[in-house]
Amino acid sequence: MSIIFQTAGIYTTFQQLETKENASLSLNGPCDALSHILGNALVGNPVNTPTIEMTFQAPTIQFREPTLIALMGAEFYAYTDEKRIMPMKVHLMERGETLYFGQPKKGTRVYMAIAGGLQIDSSRLKATEDYIIQSGARFELARSYTPFQKKLFENIVKRKETTWGIDAYSLARIYYSDVFHLESISENELSGETKKALQEDIYIVTNRFDRTGFILDGNRITCKACTSDVHIKQSGALQLTQDGDLVVVLKSIHQDSDFSYIGNIAPYHLPKLSQKKPGSKLYFKWVSKTELARQQKSYENWLKTVLAQIEFLHQQELNV
């Protein structure tokens, strides 16, 4: 077997995207779609190659043959018996090496992309229930390597990692802020006074938290005219409980039909939303559709630039 999960961690899963378009908004797939996309890009995989999503207590993974990996997402302390495994670059894990994770310094979820992917049951990735990895699980590498991946195995056989990767500063604009843009829902429009009160408060992520979303602690909101008839179709939705608490929806097609759907968090803020944990602060700001579209275009252009830079680095590696 190629990799063995000596311990499974807490809710370690395989996650997959079909395309980059609307990846963040989908109610299925990785919570932090951006980390999934960038991790696969680093190791030269198509975007629809499954990644391993890990949270809080991550697994212990043993490698039984040379494997190229990249870690993206939360700032977990990852290491082997011999060295630190830094995020945002590609590493060569040798036969017999074991990968360990400490507690995250910042964030909630880390993603591991494996060059060429793994041989897994694709039907389970399309099921409504998550593909949860259990302790003792063993998976074979798919070994469907591209010319770039084959060349990378050769190039880093001695130094064990690439000299290049994604610049942490380029990700700072995406993740390092507690401000979240909100868009109204016309069917459950809040009053101007209520919107103002919501925007001026500081909300805290509570311990009522999991992969489907979380409840916020802060000033309670009232909306007598709001109904629970409007169905959620995207991640990042903001709901209102009967008691006036705010609920943030992450990834689940099963939503509480008793809550009112009152707004959407901007798609370009969903990567950092997915990395919030109990105790994290959220500041909301209502924005117009025009401003939301402008910011979304800026985010998409930024992502295209980062992916183009990675592709350029791949071409340089091929020419070594």
Question: Is residue 27 scored above 90 in pLDDT?
Answer: no
Confidence of residue 223 (pLDDT cuts 50, 70, 90): confident
65 class by beta-carbon count within 10 Å (0-12 exposed, 13-18 middle, 19+ buried):
middle
pLDDT tens for each residue of 28-42: 889 999 999 999 999
Coarse DSSP helix, strand, coil percentages of the chain, rounded to the nearest 5 percent: 25, 30, 45
φ, ψ dihedrals at 135, nearest 5°: -60, 135
What is the mean pLDDT of the segment spanning 99-127? 90
Question: Is residue 1 scored above 70 in pLDDT?
Answer: no
pTM of the model: 0.95
Q: What is the mean pLDDT of the chain?
A: 92
Strands of 213-313 (E only): list them: 213-217, 237-240, 246-249, 260-265, 281-286
Closest Cα to residue 133, out of 304, 5, 267, 275? 5
6 class by beta-carbon count within 10 Å (0-12 exposed, 13-18 middle, 19+ buried):
middle
What pLDDT is stored for residue 19 in this prediction?
Answer: 80
The DSSP 8-state label assigned to residue 88 in this structure reads S
Find tokens 């689940």 and name the residue.
252
Which of residues 85 and 128 earns the better pLDDT score?
85
What pLDDT is stored for residue 232 in this prediction?
Answer: 85
Question: Is residue 222 scored above 90 in pLDDT?
Answer: no
Rounded Cα–Cα distance for residues 320 and 308 (Å): 19
Question: Is residue 129 scored above 90 in pLDDT?
Answer: no
What is the mean pLDDT of the segment spanning 45-51? 96
What pLDDT is stored for residue 139 in this prediction?
Answer: 97
What pLDDT is stored for residue 127 in this prediction?
Answer: 66
What pLDDT is stored for residue 41 in this prediction?
Answer: 98
Evaluate the CA torsion angle 142, 148, 154, 160 in order and state its sign.
Answer: negative
Q: What percent of the chain has pLDDT over 70?
A: 98
194 class by beta-carbon count within 10 Å (0-12 exposed, 13-18 middle, 19+ buried):
middle
What is the mean pLDDT of the segment spanning 58-83? 95
pLDDT tens for each residue of 238-280: 999 989 999 999 987 666 678 899 999 999 999 999 999 999 9
Rounded Cα–Cα distance for residues 318 and 302 (Å): 25
Contacts of 79 (CB under 8 A, 6+ apart): 85, 99, 100, 102
Which of residues 3 and 185 earns the better pLDDT score?
3
**Alpha helix ranges (H) inside the chain:** 33-43, 122-125, 147-155, 168-175, 192-200, 270-274, 289-318
What is the mean pLDDT of the segment spanning 49-67? 95
Confidence of residue 218 (pLDDT cuts 50, 70, 90): very high
pLDDT tens for each residue of 133-191: 999 999 999 999 999 999 999 999 999 999 999 999 999 989 989 999 999 988 888 89
Least confident span in 49-53, 183-187, 290-294: 183-187
What pLDDT is stored for residue 205 in this prediction?
Answer: 96
What pLDDT is stored for residue 31 in this prediction?
Answer: 93
What pLDDT is stored for residue 233 in this prediction?
Answer: 81
Question: Is residue 289 scored above 70 in pLDDT?
Answer: yes
The DSSP 8-state label assigned to residue 129 in this structure reads S
Strand bridging mode 281-286 / 179-184: parallel
Find tokens 């932090």 and name the residue.
32
Domains and CATH numbers, the chain: 3-170 (2.60.120), 177-287 (2.40.100.10)
